[in-house]
Structure 1
Amino acid sequence: MPIALSEEHRDLAASAAGWAMRHAPIAETRAGLGGQPDAGKPQTEADGGLAESGRPDFWKALTEQGWHSLHLPESAGGQDAGLLELAVVAEQFGRHLVPGPFLPTVTASAVLAAAGPTEELAAFAAGATGAVVLDGLSAVSTADGWRINGTSSPAVGLADAEIAVVRAQEIWFVLRPESGQLVPVEAVDLTRSAARLTLENFLVSPDNLIEIQPERAELALAVPAAAEAAGLCSWALDCAVDHVRTRVQFGRPIGSFQAVQHQAAGILLQREIATAAAWDAARAEQHSVAQQALAAAQARNAALPAAVDASVSCVRLLGAIGFTWEHDAHLYWRRAVALSGSLGRSAARTLGERAQTTTRDLTLASPQDCLELRGQIASVLDQAEPSARVLADAGLAAPHYPKPYGLDAGPLEQAVIAEEFERRGIPQPTTVIGEWVLPTLLVHGSSEQRDRFVLPTLRGEIRWCQLFSEPGAGSDLASLTTRATKVDGGWRISGQKVWTSLAREAHWGVCLARTDPDAPRHRGISYFLVDLAAEGVTVRPIRQATGRAEFNEVFLDDVFVPDRDLVGEPNSGWRLATTTLANERHNMGATLAHGSSDRIRQLLRNNPDDPDALSALGRCVSRELTLATLGLRSVLARLAGLDLGAEVSVQKVFSALAQQEGSREVIALLGHGSAGAEDGHVIDHLGLPAVLFGGGTVEIQLNVIAQRVLGLPR
């Protein structure tokens, strides 16, 4: 899913992509490189590269279209859009590898725009090229201004920049570079120039100083880079998938091999990570400076490395052809590497420091949204400790359910309801496993089944478990062997279920059993509701590696289930089970149960300045922000009427991997403390398999992504 969600932004993205393909096709970009390994050095117009002005041949068409000034204020000659619109365009230009000074120019002008109107800002709007210089210069205050000395780190686009926006220690200033101040370097990104800025006793007068809040500068730097990183990931995904669909080895398309499918699905995950981070940073322009700082650090920490990882994975899937000079893959890879270092070192520690005092606001609703609904909610929640029954009868136990069970609330209304619960410190009710079961009954159950089970479950009168997994049928659920035999008035079920959460506390279970042993394995299965108090049901706890018994095995010994407790038609259970599993995966993909940032915060209490712990906190918060942002984008995409495909599996996979990585970091930080179990950190780590296996293993979900989203052959 690209950065663009609204129809207006999707149209903008399509226009930018079309322009890039017409005016800066990759074939012309490659032809301008000359095909030599030193092609990253600055070129002349005769070489087919940049003109003496530093402007490529398409620059006039680009500025006439206004791509360079979308984000600039109208007072300076810009289009007064914003960073989000700029991100939409930068993503598409990155995807099509538009060469030259576009990205360094819009980055420089975005920083300048965040500081306020200047003469140089109007020059940018008129088409001047630019670059940003960040590191390596020292500044000393004098009576006349500031004296600058030193040589900067290589800056992308600086060799061709007409205007440089420079940071020297704590100050920002603008200059128009002269040839003697530039030291061209061989660029990693072969489609852009790079140079160092060298200044000796250079005087910066007050007129050239830029007064800008550091947080706003960081956001202006991060958004274009993160957006381009998302575009690079998109190209890597398209290139890799197109190749593995058509490349045949061992008599089969290589895209049918599971290892290849998992690698391709991994690139999709990297794209979603980069896109979510870039999108959230761009929308943070409207938020407080503390929010901007957090979002900028997240964009740097999540999006830029994702582009490098996606590029490497793409080359791996292309094989040897992707490692040749003639293939485009290395050009994208080089740009990803250059981009990842353009803003300095990893922002993990910075993100960790900021996350200690700031929480990213991902609220969907504004205070003025749904005022009438807010009043209705207040009349219920402002009662003294509203009971589960009161909440259920008011439609607040599951507000997204249709009436009379819920409020038929859409995504915006659900956000408002969640906000009102949180504002009062009241946890939203949960039916736990019922949250997976009830949607299935609402879609496939009979009216009698809905009447018997939905409201009583929402009121807390009925608790559920899920009787799906078996000792010989875990992720391969279709191979289950539990049998249901038709008898007078119902069915007799015999078999064994395993890894069943809450079976000892549950009143009812949803059970898959084979009703036609001769049918293809996905077609001979039925979906039953089983009373766990029925004769023949035995529940035994399973003690896990943690020492706890959170799961159970359930034995069904000739258990009678009446006809009215069969959901849907006989042999249609697989279709119903997919509804239940989808809700399970969505639920499990929404939170981090293991290795959460809260655990790292606990470890930081004893040593709040521990650099390793702060970096670990930053990485963990980054994963949590990614997960939350993916969820918010899914909601907004639904509001925009977009078909998301199997985004639930994407979130489930990312959630499981995030919990594994976070838990591993907690264990690494414990050191000698890992010998003791009293604080629960080690036990939390040992509980990881619950999320790595539950709802389908990571590998199964990667198969789903590869086959259903990417369309790779089974």
Structure 2
Amino acid sequence: MPVALTADQTALAETVTGFADRYAGREYTRKNTDRLKQGLRPEFWPDLVALGLTGVHLPETVGGQGGTLDDLAVVLAESGRALLPGPLLPTVVASTVLREAVGEDSAAEAVLRRFADGATGALIGPEHAVVTGIADDRTGSGLSGETGLILGAASAELFLVAAAAGAETRWFLVERDAAGVEVEAKDGADLGRDIGVVRFRDVSVAVPVELDTDRAVAVAVAFLAVEASGVIRWCCDTATEYVKSRVQFGRPIGAFQAVQHRTAQLLITSELATAAAWDAVRGLGDEAGQRTHAVAGAVLSTLGNAVHAAVECLALHGAIGFTWEHDLHLYWRRAMALAGLAGPVESWELRLGEAALHGPRNFAVPLPETDSSFREWVSEILDRAAQLDNTNPSKIGDDDSVNTGPRRALLAESGLVSPPMAQPYGIEAGPLEQLILQDEYDRHGIAQPSMGIGQWVVPIVLHRGTPDQLARLAGPALRGEEIWCQLFSEPEAGSDVASLSLRATRVDGGWRLQGQKIWTTLAHRSDWGLLLARTDPDAGRHAGLTMFLVDMHADGVQVRPIVQASGDAEFNEVFFDDAFVPDEMVLGEPGQGWALTLETLAQERLFIGGVRDPGHNKRIRGIIERGEYAGTRDDAVRTLGRISARGAAISAMNLRETIRRLDGHSVGPATSVAKAAASILHTDAAAAALGLIGPAAALGEAVSEPVHHELDIPTWVIGGGTLEIQLNTISTFVLGLPRK
């Protein structure tokens, strides 16, 4: 998915792509490498300026387009995907940082007008050895020192320079042709862009520009990440198209599972990189701690994976990707340059880890409310609910979200337990209403009610059940008085549900069930089960299935808990030995089981939630705060930073998907990608916690929570479908790779 979310941003992205196709193809870079490396502007620069792309983010008062940084992010991401040569990136970094001084500094405003008119620039940050002797009274010597490598140094007409003034940092605008300024172009890895060193020899400067130094650095790094996300997306798209068309052994190589999985993993990398880069730009307006979260996360999830993505693209291409004629090495080179300019990943891990010690990244959903009546209605109900209690512990845990009592009864009666459902069971809440509801639950300090596994089972019953079924089952389920489970998986039919063999044979007044289900979550606590059985063995795999509503306490139903490696027993084997189900407990019609199974999955898409912290940070943060790490504190904090970045990228992807849903779009591929990414993270985060505690990992699970969590990992990484099944889904249904 591109950085663009709105229709206007999509149109802007298409404008950039169209421009690059007309003027700045990769062939231009090949033919003009020497000129570009020396800092000469590409011939198309005036056209780029005339189109407004260099000033899309600048105020209209200075000649810009009046857009946002989100709009600029779209331009940069698409320029990265198109490998646009020239000084666009360093110029917009400088103009964005300088934009903060407009309104208070007339000199800054005049320079922004020059940027809007097409001037080029570069930012020289505080990490470079530039000093000034200017004192508080603005007197003293000018700028002196030599920088490290500066992107766009040779092409810049203007420098925005951070200089050390004792313990302080001051910012100055310096003309490239000012006396005492010397620029030496270097031979960069990127064939389409200049890089160089700038020397200042007592350069006279005007009054300093008042800028936030930390934010200035954050802008530069965030924009590097955004462009890198475009590079990664090109690698993913190009590899995907190649494996669809490249034929070996008589079929496209994209039909081979190993290739499919590798391509799907590259898509996951790309989607997380895009989300993290987008969040970095979103975070530029946040307070310092949250800004560090966002920008450092983008370094780790985007810039830290750019070179990897290029290498994966090469691996999927084989030898052809290693040739000079193939465009891949041009992107590979830019990926190396962008990642290198951000600095060592390890230092960003440490920086992010320190920020994460104070809490997770904030992913509050911006709600486009125009009418407060729904919120007021919900608030009035929750005001009443707050005066009541849930006094009865649930069979699936003593937690207010599942406990029963007057509060839960009021919420069920009001349609607030399963809000997307039709009245009277829900309130037909759309995405916005569900998020407002969640916000109000949080504001009132009330746990949002849950039906456990029934949260995904009961909606299909409410949607397709007969009046008699609903009269018997709906109320107790919504009030939490009866627990539901899902009886799909069998010993020989795990992810391949359609191959199930449990038989339902018609008898007078109903059906007899014979067979076994397995890995049924909380079956030993359940009162009812949604069961898929084969009723016509002569029909096709999908045609001969029927859905049943099964009383888990009926004769012939035997539940055997499966004790897991952790000692817990959340899953079960369920045996059906001639168990009877009356006709009135068939859901839908006989033979409709597969269609209802798909509809059960589709019902999940009606539900939407805010973006929550997955909890991995809390475990590692606790280890650090209690001093339980075996190595150095810095090693532990870097581990927290690594895990935090990956969790935040998934959360950013979910936030983007939520924003899309609020804008009226249907569920996109981000749902499948996030599920696979979360599965990988669960495993890696558990291993990271074990690694931190060192010898304490030899303790038993009863006394070591990280050990218990490690032993419980299958609950997370198998229960929702193994990673391999998820990668199969992504490769065939999202990427469109051939099955055969």
Q: Does the 8 A contact of 1:585 with 1:652 survive in 2?
A: no
Cα drift, residue 683 of structure 1: 0.5
Cα drift, residue 646 of structure 1: 3.7
Over the matched positions of the two proteins, sequence identity in percent amounts to 44
Cα drift, residue 148 of structure 1: 5.1
Cα drift, residue 167 of structure 1: 3.4
Q: Quick one: which of 147, 151, 154 aligns to 1:156?
A: 151
Alignment of 1:133-152 (within 5 A): 133-134=124-125, 135-139=127-131, 141-143=133-135, 144-145=139-140, 149-152=144-147
- The aligned residue for residue 673 of structure 1 is 696
CA distance in 2, matches of 1:159, 1:345: 24
- The aligned residue for residue 167 of structure 1 is 162
- The aligned residue for residue 640 of structure 1 is 663
The one-letter amino acid of 1:640's match is D
Instruction: Give the aligned CA root-mean-square deviation in angstroms.
Output: 2.6
**Deviation string for 1:170-225 (max 9, x for gaps)?**
4433323359622322212111111122345x356452x33222342244223322
The one-letter amino acid of 2:245's match is T
SS of the residue 1:172 aligns to: strand
- The aligned residue for residue 735 of structure 2 is 710
Change (3 A) 1:254 1:53: closer
SS of the residue 2:721 aligns to: coil
Cα drift, residue 414 of structure 1: 1.4
Q: Quick one: which of 408, 412, 415 aligns to 1:395?
A: 415
- The aligned residue for residue 81 of structure 1 is 67
Q: Does 1:469 align with 2:505?
A: no
- The aligned residue for residue 503 of structure 2 is 483
Cα drift, residue 359 of structure 1: 4.3
- The aligned residue for residue 126 of structure 1 is 117
Alignment of 1:28-47 (within 5 A): 28-33=28-33, 43-44=34-35
Q: Does 1:333 align with 2:332?
A: yes
Change (3 A) 1:454 1:335: farther
- The aligned residue for residue 39 of structure 1 is none
| Structure 1 gaps, min length 5 | 34-42
**Deviation string for 1:529-560 (max 9, x for gaps)?**
11101101111111111112121111111111
**Deviation string for 1:479-538 (max 9, x for gaps)?**
222111122222111111111111111101111222222333233222221110110111
Change (3 A) 1:611 1:580: farther
**Deviation string for 1:547-587 (max 9, x for gaps)?**
12121111111111112222223233223223434667999
Q: Does the 8 A contact of 1:400 with 1:409 survive in 2?
A: yes
CA distance in 2, matches of 1:599, 1:94: 37
- The aligned residue for residue 357 of structure 2 is 356
CA distance in 1, matches of 2:235, 2:690: 34
- The aligned residue for residue 661 of structure 1 is 684
CA distance in 1, matches of 2:289, 2:367: 19
CA distance in 2, matches of 1:440, 1:634: 24
Cα drift, residue 253 of structure 1: 0.6
* Greater Cα shift, 609-618 or 234-243: 609-618
- The aligned residue for residue 312 of structure 1 is 311
**Deviation string for 1:340-360 (max 9, x for gaps)?**
122222222222222233543
Q: Does 1:100 align with 2:99?
A: no
**Deviation string for 1:584-613 (max 9, x for gaps)?**
799999989987110011012134992122
| Structure 2 gaps, min length 5 | 390-406
Change (3 A) 1:251 1:284: same
Q: Quick one: which of 627, 630, 637 aligns to 1:614?
A: 637
SS of the residue 1:161 aligns to: coil
**Deviation string for 1:16-72 (max 9, x for gaps)?**
211221121223233334xxxxxxxxx23xxxx57x872110000000111001111
Q: Does 1:523 align with 2:543?
A: yes
CA distance in 2, matches of 1:451, 1:324: 69
**Deviation string for 1:138-170 (max 9, x for gaps)?**
536454357655433322221211122233464
CA distance in 2, matches of 1:584, 1:699: 22
Q: Does the 8 A contact of 2:613 with 2:651 survive in 1?
A: no
The one-letter amino acid of 2:352's match is L
Cα drift, residue 473 of structure 1: 2.0
CA distance in 1, matches of 2:62, 2:263: 44
Q: Does 1:270 align with 2:269?
A: yes
Q: Does 1:113 align with 2:114?
A: no
- The aligned residue for residue 38 of structure 1 is none
The one-letter amino acid of 1:139's match is V
Cα drift, residue 268 of structure 1: 1.4
CA distance in 1, matches of 2:39, 2:492: 70
CA distance in 2, matches of 1:374, 1:632: 21
Alignment of 1:547-562 (within 5 A): 547-562=567-582
TM-score calculated relative to the size of structure 1? 0.92
The one-letter amino acid of 2:65's match is Q
Q: Quick one: which of 426, 441, 445 aligns to 1:406?
A: 426
SS of the residue 1:327 aligns to: coil
- The aligned residue for residue 36 of structure 1 is none
Change (3 A) 1:99 1:267: same
SS of the residue 1:691 aligns to: helix
SS of the residue 1:494 aligns to: strand
Cα drift, residue 366 of structure 1: 4.9
- The aligned residue for residue 396 of structure 2 is none
CA distance in 2, matches of 1:53, 1:626: 35
SS of the residue 1:321 aligns to: helix
Q: Does the 8 A contact of 1:140 with 1:146 survive in 2?
A: yes
- The aligned residue for residue 65 of structure 1 is 51
Q: Quick one: which of 643, 649, 654 aligns to 1:626?
A: 649
- The aligned residue for residue 399 of structure 2 is none
CA distance in 2, matches of 1:167, 1:580: 58
The one-letter amino acid of 1:478's match is A
Change (3 A) 1:333 1:575: farther
Q: Does the 8 A contact of 1:595 with 1:666 survive in 2?
A: no
The one-letter amino acid of 1:80's match is G
CA distance in 1, matches of 2:183, 2:119: 18
